[in-house]
Structure 1
């Protein structure tokens, strides 16, 4: 197992869509400014509570949820290895035989008819 990166915890940027900053949520237009003290403390309060709630939520639920997702992906891997991939192999083999049988029937039944019609219509030549 590779060492875990404690600094860059989203190296593949899969959660870029939830990067939310104060400026993304609250913004005052030029005509409506609150007191600087209110705005500054709102900024601090927003970031504090966002961090605190996330930290408490992950502390209380993160390990259990990670365990559940680990089980979920293990189950998916199990079904793919032991059920889904073998089913696809069975379908591939059976469909291959059906394809050969269908091809033989088409070539045996339709090829002579098509050749006969081709010879028949080739007798009608267009005079230009």
Structure 2
């Protein structure tokens, strides 16, 4: 503020008064400011409305729900470990740990950007081709063969019941009388 200018106070209405006569229609006033989120809400503060509406939201939070890549949970101590008898300086250990973590994360992110989209397209294409081939070729052929060979299935069932089953059962009873005793001498 410059000298010589008259200063006047300006009152700013934030619209947060709770006087009931201002809102007779039952609607809540429009809030122009927002309180800080609670700690449990803080993790969801950066999710957009599109993500909240999306049906793939659980996939964003849990990216390996079946634990397929549990073998890749690697930390610095799993890769580099110093025995008690040989130790580097604390600063060297801290910086190497930090560089390991940063390089691991960023190199993965770079390769993921370069490979994720092409690999996703190729694998989606392959799965679509295999699914189409299975649905329209393999399954109908198997059903046709199954319908055409019902008599063969019945004949095979009779052969197993009449010839193979009694033979195997009698061989099992004959061999069931043997006892094997192992002893250390």
Matched, 1:69 2:69: no
Higher helix share: 1
CA RMSD after TM alignment: 2.4
Equivalence map 1:1-128=2 (5 Å): 2-4=55-57, 5-101=59-155
After the TM superposition, which of the residue ranges 37-46 and 3-12 deviates more from structure 2? 3-12
Q: Distance in 2 between matches of 1:11 and 1:100?
A: 44
Deviations 1:9-51 (A, max 9, x none): 1122221111111111111111121111111111111111111
Structure 1 gap segments, 5+ residues each: 112-128
Structure 2 gap segments, 5+ residues each: 1-53, 164-185
How far off its partner does 1:94 sit? 3.3
Q: Distance in 2 between matches of 1:21 and 1:103?
A: 57
How far off its partner does 1:103 sit? 6.5
Deviations 1:45-97 (A, max 9, x none): 11111111111111112111111111111112112101121222133223322
Q: Distance in 2 between matches of 1:92 and 1:59?
A: 47
Q: Distance in 2 between matches of 1:26 and 1:102?
A: 62
Bigger radius of gyration, 1 or 2? Answer: 2
Secondary structure of 2:88's partner?
coil
TM-score where L is the length of structure 2: 0.51
Q: Distance in 2 between matches of 1:14 and 1:92?
A: 36
Larger relative contact order (CA 8 Å, sep ≥ 6):
1
After the TM superposition, which of the residue ranges 46-55 and 89-98 deviates more from structure 2? 89-98
Large movers: runs of 4+ above 6 Å: none
Q: Distance in 2 between matches of 1:103 and 1:9?
A: 48
Other-structure match for 1:125? none
